Structure 1
Amino acid sequence: MQHPPIVVHQLSPSGGRRVTVRGRILGLAYSDDELLVFLEGAGLQDPDLVLDDPAWVEWRGGRAHEWAPPGSPA
């Protein structure tokens, strides 16, 4: 089985999630909007169309689209 090319890693203790594409770190995103900017910068056309597609994006260590650390106000 092939792994998705985009990985949104677990929440950091201070918030935000590391984003990698094919193992290359793009940065730390704090929202879907920031994630989309990273993916557009990596050359992905219409990245908003793939965020919920498990063939494209693997959300690790938390629910998809969750950006605040546990116990913090949303």
Structure 2
Amino acid sequence: MDASAPRVIVQPPAPAGGRRVCVDGTTLGLAYRPADVAEFLRRAGTDPDQIDLEGPDIERRGGGPDIWSPPDTPA
């Protein structure tokens, strides 16, 4: 990601599942899989082909690119 690329942050999983996706400080929506992240980037005018959806181009908080639901909570 270069200096002109948007800052993409995928937040930790929400209690009901999914992860909030933010670009340059604006929340784009709640993603449930990588394809959702790509669609949000496309709708925001960013070429998702220019961003590695599973690499360092995206800052992930609370888990890597394969985590989309919160960890199980013990009863």
TM-score of the two chains, using structure 2 as the length reference: 0.76
RMSD over equivalenced CA pairs, Å: 2.2
**Structure 2: distance between partners of 1:71 and 1:48:** 34
1:14 aligns with 16
Q: Percent same amino acid at aligned positions?
A: 41
SS, match of residue 27 in structure 1 = strand
Following TM superposition, the consecutive aligned residue runs of length 4 or more in structure 1 with deviations greater than 4 angstroms are none
Q: 1:8 touches 1:57 (CA, 8 Å); kept in 2? A: yes
* Number of residue pairs the alignment of both structures matches: 69
**Structure 1: distance between partners of 2:49 and 2:27:** 17
Unaligned runs of 5+ in 1: none
User: Greater CA radius of gyration, 1 or 2?
Assistant: 2
* Deviation readout 1:2-40 (Å, 9 max, x if unpaired): 8x7000000011000000001000011111111111011
* Deviation readout 1:22-70 (Å, 9 max, x if unpaired): 100001111111111101111121347421331x210101122311222
Unaligned runs of 5+ in 2: none
**Structure 2: distance between partners of 1:71 and 1:35:** 23
